[in-house]
Amino acid sequence: MTGQTKSSTSKADVPRRAPDCTLVIFGGGGDLTKRLLVPSLYDLAAMDVLSRKFRIIVVDRMEMTSEAWSAHLFDEISAFAKDKAGEFAHGRLDKSVWQKMMKNVEFLAGDITESEIYQRVATSLGHNSAIFYFAVAAQFFGTILKSLGKAKLFEEDGFFRRVIIEKPFGHNLASAKALNKVALANAREDQIYRIDHFFGKEAVQSMMAIRFANTLFEPLWRQEYIDHVQITAAETIGVEKRGKFYEGTGALRDMVPNHLFVLLSITGMAPPSSLAAEVVRSEKTRLLDAIRPIKVKDFVVAQYRAGKVEGEKRPAYRNEPDVDPKSDVETYAALKLHIDNWRWAGVPFYLRTGKRLAARKTEVAVIFKKTPYQLFKQGSADAMPNVIRFQLDPIRGLAMHFMVKEPGLEEVTTPVQNTFRYDDFFKSRANVGYEALLYDCMCGDQMLFQSAATIEAGWAALESVNPPKNRKLCFYAAGDQGPKEADQLLERDGRSWLPLID
């Protein structure tokens, strides 16, 4: 859209300072800490919202001084900051901001499977508030939870104790339930923050505002007007150096019960009566609970073969490092879901995600029904008249497709598009996606985190296809839009995927 000025100040520019707390990072020497946690903390320090008494305790196996840890990260993160196209594009790091964040760091070298390290954490924390962050492999989540419980580190007495648990939260319903059981045996639900970085994306957070802060959408948001919904998370990257992890996970578990279901629940939930975390989370759970068991025929899994992505030659998945040359792990999944409730009866939700596809695109497209009566001649017979696209990544905006009359003497209609871009309205600022999540956890707001019930509802919805029974692994060339079987999934219903490349 044009003709609008960029907003100067919004509430988001002047947030309150977070309460005092110590961030205890288990696995503080790892990649997640370097790529996401510390850059996000830097952004929070730059916004001046960290408590003046903010502390970091790093727990890791390797021996290191806190000074060496901080100096090493400064070098690495300075390199990210220089990447103009990256989400952490600061140019040069501001040393005074860095020091504000790092002024109180303690490095505790130890083994997270031994009780001794938890005693040292307890001594260091004393009677202070803390957030325990699990930046370690998922197999250690249960062990750390039990050890924190045993060391009484979840006990609160005028201070808070919270835990942030990364994905994957289980690999099926039974394992997610088991992990929730361990978590809830040691901490209360309001102390447990199950993180999904899709909630950290500004454009994802804004979907709820678009739906519920406008009169325009809600009256149409139902089966009377909506034909179907397409949810896409397409990537151009392959498995990079994560072959080992990916071999045990695959596209379905890596992306669907978490990220795609986050998008599904925001798209489909009923309007909550308030923004209280428990109210919003229970509406999302209710939506996921209404998913009908998925039929094998409505489920496609595929793997990429060699090909060209954006003009660059790429190897087949089976030739990626740490991947079994005979692997039948899927790098693509597509599925059709039905939501059995009054609002969505008869409206299919098609979900797709994959690596090494033609373009990077995370998007929710809501496709409306045709007008009940076709008054005008249509220029293109298969044009979708009205579509609302929540563009989430890498473009962030909202696109609306509607029909206009083609200029000329005849009454012929044709679809056009009107687009709003966040960058046209708001000053863009570095945001790696964890800033809001860390800040909300410090402030005790769980709205952007998954509840035990939401996680379990997500896995329960996938039980019939996870692990995929009678699965037929299909193939696509790297750089394609996906396998032909995924196209057929929609063609069967007289529909087609929106193209990945606009």
Q: Is 91 left (phi over 0), alpha (psi -120 to 50) or beta?
A: left
- Does position 330 interact with ligand BG6 (CB under 6 A)? The reply is no
- Does position 391 interact with ligand BG6 (CB under 6 A)? The reply is no
| DSSP code at position 156 | -
User: Any known ligand binding at 355?
Assistant: yes
Provide the 10 A C-beta neighbour count for residue 325: 9
Distance CA 140, CA 134 (A): 9
Q: Which residues pair with 25 in a beta bridge?
A: 58, 133
Is 35 or 146 the residue whose CB approaches ligand BG6 more closely? Answer: 35
Distance CA 167, CA 40 (A): 18
Question: Is 127 designated active site?
Answer: no
Residue among 143, 139, 94, 97 nearest 118 (CA): 143
Q: Which residues pair with 130 in a beta bridge?
A: 22, 161
Q: Show the site string, 181-220: x = touches ligand BG6 by CB under 6 A, - = not.
A: ----------------------------------------
Size of the site for ligand BG6 (CB under 6 A): 4
Strands 412-421 and 397-405, by their bridges, are antiparallel
Least distance from ligand BG6 to the Cβ atom of residue 6, Å: 25
- CA distance readout (Å), 41 to 11, 35, 36, 431: 20, 11, 9, 10
- Residue type, position 111, single letter: D
Provide the 10 A C-beta neighbour count for residue 159: 16
Least distance from ligand BG6 to the Cβ atom of residue 280, Å: 21
- Does position 254 interact with ligand BG6 (CB under 6 A)? The reply is yes
Say what the alpha-carbon torsion angle 419, 424, 429, 434 is, to the nearest 10 degrees. Answer: -20
- Does position 362 interact with ligand BG6 (CB under 6 A)? The reply is yes
Torsional sign, CA 382, 386, 391, 395: positive
Least distance from ligand BG6 to the Cβ atom of residue 168, Å: 8
Distance CA 271, CA 283 (A): 8
Least distance from ligand BG6 to the Cβ atom of residue 87, Å: 9
Distance CA 434, CA 309 (A): 29
Q: In what order do the strands lie in the sheet with 22-26?
A: 105-109, 55-60, 22-26, 130-134, 161-165, 192-194
90, 171, 228, 259: which one is catalytic? 259
Is 161 or 253 the residue whose CB approaches ligand BG6 more closely? Answer: 253
Is 148 or 432 the residue whose CB approaches ligand BG6 more closely? Answer: 432
Among 43, 235, 289, 330, binds ligand BG6 (CB under 6 A): 235
Least distance from ligand BG6 to the Cβ atom of residue 133, Å: 16
Is 31 or 328 the residue whose CB approaches ligand BG6 more closely? Answer: 31
Q: Show the site string, 336-355: x = touches ligand BG6 by CB under 6 A, - = not.
A: --------------------
User: Any known ligand binding at 112?
Assistant: yes
User: Contact 177/456 with Cβ under 8 angstroms?
Assistant: yes
- Does position 393 interact with ligand BG6 (CB under 6 A)? The reply is yes
Q: Please work out, in degrees rounded to the nearest 5, the angle formed at the alpha carbon of residue 271 by the alpha carbons of 265 and 275.
A: 90
Least distance from ligand BG6 to the Cβ atom of residue 239, Å: 8
User: Any known ligand binding at 13?
Assistant: no
User: Any known ligand binding at 254?
Assistant: yes
Q: Show the site string, 298-317: x = touches ligand BG6 by CB under 6 A, - = not.
A: --------------------
Per CB under 6 A, residues contacting ligand BG6 are 235, 254, 362, 393
Catalytic positions? 259
User: Residues at the annotated binding site?
Assistant: 61, 111-112, 167, 197, 201, 235, 254, 355
Binding site for substrate: what residues are annotated? 197, 201, 235, 254, 355
> Which residues are part of a known binding site for NADP(+)?
61, 111-112, 167
